[in-house]
């Protein structure tokens, strides 16, 4: 049972960088041959997305980081840990986390590492940062999480571009973070990019179009078995949340907000129904930001709870689930959290 707890760490603030360009689902005439935009929006909840292939995830995260560091009044030289969660690194190697250390002007006395997870990635990244900070040997960390452009664009109507930054710091006596994690690698090909890694390198065949789920795609584009992912999500996420509450002796009544990964409104509404939670406890960002992969949980807290939680103790349970297949749930409290204004890149 992968229950892990780290004390003496708190979230100091969250910021988000997105492209300024908005794509509206209703304006897309080619949603599907099977259904129209109205039915698509009703089912998925995605009304608009932020897309701009000029910006990599690290561009979005760095812009968000500059804003958050300023809002927190942190000194860059104090930041000793940088965790970058993305499936869209700037280069296949080296790790983009190293490039970001220099780009942000962080100290060379900096632990920088990268985590190539998707929808569950923020929760996993949080455990990396929390484990390091809980020692007290390092005091301030930036956790960057998001996805934007990949090796080639994904021709879907759900995924969106975002880069978030979560600032964490050591605080003696803080209750910290309580985690539950799970993995089912048998579903590794439920969402994947076939070529471009060491298993299948890039060959001329990688660029040949084939029909995948009614769309023309090549082997460098992410493909998904939607039904498998859907069935996984509605069964696994509520179980992980219930296990977490039970293990740590917390009830749903104690929770102010349950933040779910958001890939599809139908999935989230089923999970919310299973957990018997009222809508006001489960805020969503996917109607305006789409599926933002590992950025979803922090972007939802940042943009949907801004002005509501900054100055009062607030208890969260958050669950990320998806590609891997991988999932993680975390319980934590915030107080005096800084939620930056949205950073839009143009």
Partner 1 sequence: MELQEFINNFAEQFDDIDASALNGSTIFKDLDEWNSLVALSVIAMIDEEYDITLKGNDIISATTVEDLYNIVQSKK
DSSP-derived 3-state class of residue 25: helix
**Which CB, 131 or 225, lies closer to partner 1?**
225
Burial of residue 73 (CB within 10 Å: 0-12, 13-18, 19+) is exposed
What's the closest the beta carbon of residue 324 comes to partner 1, in angstroms? 16
What's the closest the beta carbon of residue 328 comes to partner 1, in angstroms? 19
CA distance 35 to 17: 32
Q: Which range in 34-42, 98-106, 202-210, 316-324 contacts partner 1 by CB under 8 A?
A: 34-42
Q: Does 155 bind partner 1 (CB under 8 A)?
A: no
**Which CB, 215 or 306, lies closer to partner 1?**
215
Q: Does 43 bind partner 1 (CB under 8 A)?
A: yes
Number of shown-chain residues binding partner 1 (CB under 8 A): 19
Q: Does 28 bind partner 1 (CB under 8 A)?
A: no
DSSP-derived 3-state class of residue 319: strand
DSSP-derived 3-state class of residue 126: helix
Cα–Cα distances (Å) from 77 to 59, 68, 134, 263, in that order, read: 21, 15, 19, 37
**Which CB, 43 or 137, lies closer to partner 1?**
43
What's the closest the beta carbon of residue 122 comes to partner 1, in angstroms? 25
Residue 11: name the closest of 244, 175, 217, 249 by CA: 175
Q: Does 183 bind partner 1 (CB under 8 A)?
A: no
The contact mask relative to partner 1 for 243-282 (x = CB under 8 A, - = no) is ---------------------x-x---x------------
CA distance 31 to 302: 29
Residue 338: name the closest of 171, 176, 168, 162 by CA: 168
CA distance 106 to 345: 22
DSSP-derived 3-state class of residue 239: helix
DSSP-derived 3-state class of residue 308: coil
What's the closest the beta carbon of residue 12 comes to partner 1, in angstroms? 39
**Which CB, 214 or 279, lies closer to partner 1?**
214
Q: Which range in 8-16, 118-126, 230-238, 318-326 contacts partner 1 by CB under 8 A?
A: 230-238
User: In 201-330, where does DSSP find H-type helix?
Assistant: 226-247, 265-274, 286-289, 296-304
Q: Does 228 bind partner 1 (CB under 8 A)?
A: yes
CA distance 38 to 22: 18
Q: Does 34 bind partner 1 (CB under 8 A)?
A: yes
Q: Does 235 bind partner 1 (CB under 8 A)?
A: yes
Interface residues with partner 1 (CB under 8 A) are 32, 34-35, 39-40, 43, 213, 225-228, 230-232, 234-235, 264, 266, 270
């Amino acid at each position: 049972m992968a229950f892990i707890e780290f004390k003496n760490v708190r979230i100091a603030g969250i910021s988000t960088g997105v492209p300024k360009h908005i794509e509206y689902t209703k304006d897309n005439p080619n949603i599907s041959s099977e259904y129209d935009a109205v039915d698509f929006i009703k089912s998925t909840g995605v009304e608009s997305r932020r897309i701009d292939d000029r910006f990599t995830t690290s561009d979005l995260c760095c812009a968000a980081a500059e804003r958050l560091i300023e809002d927190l009044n942190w000194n860059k030289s104090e930041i000793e840990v940088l965790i970058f969660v993305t499936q869209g690194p700037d280069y296949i190697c080296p790790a983009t986390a190293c490039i970001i250390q220099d780009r942000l002007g962080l100290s060379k006395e900096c632990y920088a590492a990268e985590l190539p997870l998707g929808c569950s990635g923020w929760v996993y990244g949080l455990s990396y940062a929390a484990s390091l900070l809980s020692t007290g040997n390092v005091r301030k960390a930036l956790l960057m999480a998001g996805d934007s452009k990949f090796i080639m664009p994904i021709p879907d109507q759900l995924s969106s571009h975002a880069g978030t930054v979560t600032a964490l710091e050591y605080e003696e006596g803080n209750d910290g973070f309580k985690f539950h994690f799970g993995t089912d690698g048998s579903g590794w090909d439920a969402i994947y990019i076939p070529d471009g890694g060491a298993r299948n390198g890039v060959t001329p065949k990688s660029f040949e179009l084939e029909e995948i789920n009614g769309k023309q795609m090549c082997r460098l584009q992410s493909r998904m078995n939607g039904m498998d992912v859907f069935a996984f999500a509605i069964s696994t996420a509520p179980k992980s949340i219930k296990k977490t509450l039970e293990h740590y002796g917390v009830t749903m009544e104690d929770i102010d907000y349950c933040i779910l990964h958001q890939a599809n409104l139908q999935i989230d509404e089923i999970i919310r129904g299973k957990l018997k939670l009222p809508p006001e406890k489960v805020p969503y960002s996917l109607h305006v930001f789409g599926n933002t992969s590992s950025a979803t949980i922090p972007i939802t807290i940042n943009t949907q709870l801004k002005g509501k939680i900054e100055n009062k103790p607030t208890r969260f349970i958050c669950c990320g689930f998806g590609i891997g297949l991988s999932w993680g749930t975390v319980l934590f409290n915030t107080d005096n959290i800084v939620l930056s204004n949205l950073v839009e890149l143009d």
